[in-house]
Structure 1
Amino acid sequence: MKTLKYIFAFLLISISVVSCSDDDDNTVIEDNPVEGLNKIYEISGANHVVEIYSEKQNLEIGYNEISIRIKDLSTNKYLNDAELNWMPMMNMTDRAHSAPHSMLSNAEESTVYKGHIVFQMASNETEYWELKLNYDINGESIEGVTRVSVLQPNDGMVKTQVFMGVDGVKYVLAYVGPQNPEVALNDMQAVLYKMEDMMNFPVVENYKVAIDPRMPGMGNHSSPNNIDLTYNSVNNRYDGKLSLTMTGYWKINLKLLNQADEILKGEDVTEDNPESSLYFELEF
């Protein structure tokens, strides 16, 4: 009888353990849509809060991908239908201007609104950037403003060019990727905008950015199989291929060409001209 009691007790314990294990396996763990991002700013309202995220610790001169969420404090839930618009503004001592930026968008059912801003200059004590947000919550139009700090890139590399083309148009060309370059044929991306006035920077479509990567410290040698950047209408970027044959410092010499293949800025690299006036820098 004692043996039967022990067996019965063992079976009860085993069933209990399996049941607990099954409960643990069935526990629903919510995905965090901003996992891996840094919350860099927050705008508080009467019944909601706006959270601003970035992959970087700080906003920098150049291309910045930014994610925004709006939390309704009355329900403690994030909104996915908030018709969100934004405008970056630089307040200088004698004037104000905006910056090239995309629209904010979110996928269906997503509470994360994504976009990018290309900041042309750093902020300081007297000249500063503000991010203005306009959005609707339950039919109410709301405006939020926060002052943001824009720093020089941590790596000190030139990845943004603001210049006048031979056509008299002012352009903003910014490096997007690769963010983690390898000794390989890398996918390369950039964005190109033109300045219509101090507030409007439309995307430039169907131009070409010719690339010629060189290693100045290694005899200014180039690399094979590079593919020039051409316009991608799906993401409004310029895509191509960047060949990097070794680690170290690279200068990516550039030329901007219009639809008629006329060079608007930049020069060929030759023995007499070791670098273009239009370029990005990369070190890895």
Structure 2
Amino acid sequence: MKTLKTLIILFALSMGATSCSDDTEGPMPVTENPLEAYHLTNSFEANGHMLELYSEKERLTTGYNELYVQIKDLSTGAYIPNASITWNPMMHMIGMSHSCPKSDITVTEKETVYKGYLVFQMASNADEYWELNLEYSFGGATYTTSKRIEVKAPTDGNKTVNVFTGTDDKRYVLAMLPFAPKVAINDFSAVLFEMESMMSFPVVEDYTITIDPRMPGMGNHSSPNNENLTYDPDSGSYSGKLSLTMTGYWKINLQLLNASEDVLKGEMVTEGNESSSLYFEIEF
């Protein structure tokens, strides 16, 4: 009986030691891919790591691209949590180079998944191409990598980004945020940047973007209950409402107004003017 009690005590002590050991080991490394449902648009192998770029779209396109980034340790297969990542896209043209509007990259609620967006003004071609430069840090070390990437025009050919000079002689980039249009009053958003230089594209705040959706193939009729886009400081974008009364091709005519309500670009649609020079296109 004494031997049995001794064995029971030893077993209990060993279980307690195991429990304490488990508590001090920390969280298990993430090896399963939390972005399997997304499209892998690009991967960068360097420094013993694989940086993966994912999107809801199948490829990078002109306009707004929301992207998710992961860093995989190739020696363990584990994804790296809580890293710091910056990016710098560069378009190499014949005789010149420039960047594009971009967000910071931030960690999501999943500590191994990072998120940001890029707004490409133009597509790649045979002689001109985009390169994405990445810098990332974790564990006290900093690494860099870069790779040529391909940016396509949207397959539907619709216009989702405008690059223009306003009446104030400033250059702007205006891009529509992707959404799934339906016959309803849709949430509708865009991002607006000033091109200060070939490398600097700060967000423009507190302007107004008026919208006038029309169906050119249906007598150029409009729709009721639209709301112009105004700046939302929480998201850094311009938000409003877009009323779509039927399926088909829509041209969303725009005007850009500054804080003093001066029209910087775009024209009103009238009987004598069927469309604005500033617009987005959708078809569904």
For this structure pair, what is the TM-score category when the shorter chain's length is used for normalisation?
A: 0.7 to 0.9
CA 1:243–1:70: 2 relative to 1, 3 Å: same
- Match for residue 258 of structure 1? 258
Q: 1: CA distance between counterparts of 2:144 and 2:97?
A: 19
Deviation at 1:262, TM superposition (A): 0.8
Return 102-111 or 257-266, whichever deviates more. Answer: 102-111
Q: 2: CA distance between counterparts of 1:109 and 1:242?
A: 32
Q: Which amino acid aligns with 2:126?
A: E
- Match for residue 127 of structure 1? 128
- Match for residue 196 of structure 2? 196
Q: 1: CA distance between counterparts of 2:131 and 2:278?
A: 29
**Runs of 5+ in structure 1 lacking a partner?**
1-29
Deviation at 1:36, TM superposition (A): 2.1
- Match for residue 118 of structure 2? 117
- Match for residue 206 of structure 2? 206
TM-score, normalised by the number of residues in structure 1: 0.87
Return 50-59 or 163-172, whichever deviates more. Answer: 50-59
Q: 2: CA distance between counterparts of 1:243 and 1:192?
A: 21
- Match for residue 223 of structure 1? 223
Q: 1: CA distance between counterparts of 2:242 and 2:181?
A: 9
- Match for residue 11 of structure 2? none
SS in 1 for 2:106: coil
SS in 2 for 1:204: coil
TM-score, normalised by the number of residues in structure 2: 0.87
SS in 1 for 2:217: helix
Deviation at 1:138, TM superposition (A): 1.9
- Match for residue 38 of structure 2? 37
* 2:271 pairs with 1:268: no
CA 1:43–1:256: 2 relative to 1, 3 Å: same
Return 220-229 or 75-84, whichever deviates more. Answer: 75-84
Deviation at 1:140, TM superposition (A): 1.6
- What CA deviation, in whole Å up to 9, does each residue of 1:110-151 have, x standing for no partner? 211111111011111221100100011321211110110011
- What CA deviation, in whole Å up to 9, does each residue of 1:144-168 have, x standing for no partner? 1011001111111011100000001
Q: 2: CA distance between counterparts of 1:119 and 1:108?
A: 27
- Match for residue 7 of structure 1? none
- Match for residue 279 of structure 2? 279
Q: 1: CA distance between counterparts of 2:45 and 2:32?
A: 24
Q: 1: CA distance between counterparts of 2:278 and 2:109?
A: 40
- Match for residue 248 of structure 2? 248
**How many correspondences in the alignment?**
254
